[in-house]
Structure 1
Amino acid sequence: MHKATYRDREMAVDILYRAFINILIPNSINFVVNKSGSREKRLKALMYYQFDIALLYGSVFLSNDGKGCILYLEEMKFSLKKLWLEIQLVIHCIGIKRIPNVLAREKLIKAYHPKEKFVHLWLMGIIPEAQGLGIGTFLLQETIKKYAEDLIYVETTTPENLEFYKKNGFSIFHETHKLDYPLYFLSYV
């Protein structure tokens, strides 16, 4: 595993894109990606945004075999760069008409963020042909070591991901069904 730099942007985005392109169930990613137009282009725009934001306000880690990627956010602050990235996200992924829905979703999620300082495990993806081989577990366990002094927080939507995080030491502290999919909030201390 290694910490990504901007030079790894295309590789990381490709991993994340491939990990999520065929997942069509209601979840956080599909909620954000506008359903009109090209799903492929919109999903790729979301992955570029998430990589860029994680690089600015956290860390991106890649598996050495180039099959897995995990993004963490530490502390986001306002910046012109962040504003520019958000404008690009609206144009290329969300769509202007969907801004209120996405903002309402973000407000719901933030309401359940831990009150104490935390690190947000924002996104993890493994390319489909390498899933189930332990790459995700390895990335998660190695990055947990890097954030050993921190409270780590994650939200997930699927029962499979929920079980994965629980097997790796995370505990559910809240769940909601206010969206068109379940949302589980977990922490690792």
Structure 2
Amino acid sequence: MRLAVKKDKDQVVDILMSAFIDVLIPNSINFVVKNDGRRTERLKSLMEFQFDIAFDLGYIFISDDSTGCIIFINKWKLNLRRIILEIKLLFNVIGIENVFQVLKREKIIKSYHPKGEFIHLWLMGVKPEAQGTGIGSKLLQETLNFYKGKLIYLETTTTENLKFYKKNGFNIFHNTFELDYPLYFLNYV
């Protein structure tokens, strides 16, 4: 595993795009990405946004074979660059008409954030041709070692992801069905 640098942006976006482009079930990504004829373009903008935010506020790790990546946010903080990126996200991904439902989602998620300091496992993706080969598990375990002793938090929407994270030592501490899909909150210490 290695830490991503700025020039890895296209590679990380490509990994995430390939991992999520064909996932059409109700989940967090599809909740945020406006569903219209520009889904691919909007999804790419979302992945670019996530890279940019994580590059400023956390770390992005890439698997040794460059087929998987994982994004962590070390500390959420507001700054001018983040505000600009979020405005771009609004127009390029969410759409004005969906902003209130996305804000409601963010409020729900934030209400279950752990109290005190934590590391947010924000997004993980493995290219479809490498899924099921252990790349994701290896990458996750290496990053958990990187953050050894820190509280790691994440939310997920699918039972497949839930099984994966539980298998890798995460515990469910809450779930909710307040949105159009289930939302599971997990932690790891």
The TM-score normalised by the length of structure 2 is: 0.99
Partner of 1:107: 107
User: Gaps spanning 5+ residues in structure 2: where?
Assistant: none
- Give, in angstroms, the shift of residue 36 of structure 1: 2.1
1:157 aligns with 2:157: yes
Partner of 1:3: 3
Task: Give the secondary-structure state (helix, strand or coil) at the position aligned to 2:43.
Answer: helix
> Match for 1:131: what amino acid?
Q
> Match for 2:91: what amino acid?
I
Question: Residue deviations 1:55-76, cap 9 Å, x none?
Answer: 1000000012110010000112
Q: How far apart, in 2, do the equivalents of 1:76 and 1:105 lie? A: 17
Partner of 2:56: 56
Q: How far apart, in 1, do the equivalents of 2:86 and 2:183 lie? A: 23
> Match for 1:75: what amino acid?
K
Q: How far apart, in 2, do the equivalents of 1:164 and 1:98 lie? A: 30
Partner of 2:68: 68
> Match for 1:122: what amino acid?
W
Q: How far apart, in 2, do the equivalents of 1:96 and 1:6 lie? A: 30
Partner of 2:144: 144
How many residues in Structure 1 have an aligned counterpart in Structure 2? 189
Q: Which runs of 4+ in 1 moved over 3 A?
A: none
1:21 aligns with 2:51: no
- Give, in angstroms, the shift of residue 149 of structure 1: 2.0
Q: How far apart, in 1, do the equivalents of 2:104 and 2:130 lie? A: 35
User: Gaps spanning 5+ residues in structure 1: where?
Assistant: none
> Match for 1:173: what amino acid?
F
Task: Give the secondary-structure state (helix, strand or coil) at the position aligned to 1:145.
Answer: helix
> Match for 1:91: what amino acid?
F
Q: How far apart, in 2, do the equivalents of 1:76 and 1:159 lie? A: 27
> Match for 2:26: what amino acid?
P
The TM-score normalised by the length of structure 1 is: 0.99
- Give, in angstroms, the shift of residue 37 of structure 1: 3.2
Q: How far apart, in 2, do the equivalents of 1:78 and 1:137 lie? A: 32
